[in-house]
Amino acid sequence: MTLVKEAPVRPAGKRPAAPPAGRRGRRRENLAGYLFMSPWIAGFLLLTAGPMIASLYYAFTSYNLFTPPQWVGLDNFTTMFQDPRWQKSVEVTLEYVVVATPLKLLLALGVALLLAQKRRGQGLYRAAFYMPSLIGASVSVGFVWRALFSDDAVVDRTQKIFGLDVGGWIGNPDYVLYSLVALSIWQFGAPMVIFLAGLKQVPQELYEAAEVDGAGPLRRFWNITLPMISPVLFFNVLLESIHAFQVFGSAYVVSDTRCGPADATLVYTCYLYQKGFKEAQMGFASAMAWTLVIAVALVTAVLFWSQKKWVHYEEAAK
């Protein structure tokens, strides 16, 4: 704390007036800049860059925390790729990302289109729909979800009305992942708010002109709304899929602390946690972490590349 507070005292200096000019002034600006930045720089070196390098090194070692890391070359990676539980965790995570993200964004966009119309109570609805995004990650909501999706609870009884008799989803390896998907979709409010902000920026004249030309609501959505909000859509797809790759708490709390039953919710982070913190296989866990970083980087790169084809940055925001 003291570091943060004291560091920037110096650049203010005692030297009065005379707006800094020339080389001396520039040097003083540089000094001030770096002093103000010093907490971030320390954090970046100590808690981000340094650890990244360390974890890259651990990935090629066998390390159990108690004896120093031992170089094992690519062993962690070869064991990992052949490990059936690792394969399972990749499968579970991909299914989660591919199912939850589009459904959540679809609902977010649909509700945003609804709320974009100026009606009474619009602000209240917006606030209420946003709330799950704030509490959804809590253990409390995890417990609620567990209760709602257990045997004989509300979801089970509702599905029976429709003739689906599979019992509560929590204990059923074929369904339990969908209870997590449902929890993710329930938090559609955060992307919805971003869609709403994007929709507000679409110039009304475009719609009026299209209406004069006889374009129906579907045409207007497809040819005006969608292209105009594509930057926001891109941002949401990027953010939500990266988040989905990192899901942990809900798998740990809603299903059970082993991310079971039968590894049905063994999401990637959950397996990484088990390997690193339960079995003290820090080398293996680091190899897993770096594999995930590379996978997420690839997804991000593909999204950015695909951007040229479908994202329109004309006279974008502002």
Chain residues 66-125 in contact with other proteins, contact rule CB under 8 A: 111, 114-115, 117, 119, 121, 125
24: β partners: none
Residue 163 C-beta: closest distance to other proteins, Å: 19
Q: Of how many residues is the chain composed?
A: 318
> 61 near 70, Cβ under 8 Å?
yes
d(CA 18, CA 42): 32
Q: Is 142 exposed, middle or buried (0-12, 13-18, 19+ CB in 10 A)?
A: buried
- Window 222 to 281, contacts with other proteins (CB under 8 A): 232, 235-236, 242, 245-246, 248-249, 252-253, 257, 269, 272-273, 276-277
Kindly state the smallest distance separating residue 105's Cβ from other proteins, in Å. Answer: 12
Question: Whole-number minimum distance, CB 251 to other proteins, in Å?
Answer: 11
296 touches other proteins (CB under 8 A): yes
For residue 300, the minimal CB distance to other proteins (Å) is 6
> Is residue 298 a contact point for other proteins (CB under 8 A)?
no
Instruction: Tell me how far, at minimum, the Cβ of 40 lies from other proteins, in Å.
Output: 4
The DSSP-derived string for 63-81 is --SSS--EE-TTHHHHHHH
Among the residue ranges 75-83, 86-94, 285-293, 307-315, the one whose residues contact other proteins (CB under 8 A): 285-293
Nearest distance, CB of residue 242 and other proteins, angstroms: 6
Name which of 290, 259, 267, 235 is nearest 105 in CA terms.
235
Most distant pair of Cα atoms in the chain: their distance: 81
User: Which residue type is seen at 316?
Assistant: A
Nearest by Cα to 190 from 227, 252, 236 = 236
Q: Rounded to the nearest whole angstrom, what is the least distance from the CB of residue 263 to other proteins in the complex?
A: 19
Does 128 engage in binding with other proteins (CB under 8 A)? yes
Which residues in 26-65 contact other proteins (CB under 8 A)?
Answer: 29-30, 32-34, 36-37, 39-44, 46-48, 50-52, 54-55, 58, 65
174-203: which residues touch other proteins (CB under 8 A)? 186, 189-190, 193-194, 196-198, 201
CB-CB contact of 191 with 236 (8 Å): yes
Compute how many residues bind other proteins; rule: CB under 8 A: 106
d(CA 116, CA 66): 58
Structure tokens at 73: 């070359």
137 binds other proteins (CB under 8 A): yes
Which one, 153 or 206, has the nearer CB to other proteins?
153
23 binds other proteins (CB under 8 A): no
Under rule CB under 8 A, residue 161 binds other proteins: no
Q: Are 238 and 300 in contact (CB under 8 A)?
A: yes
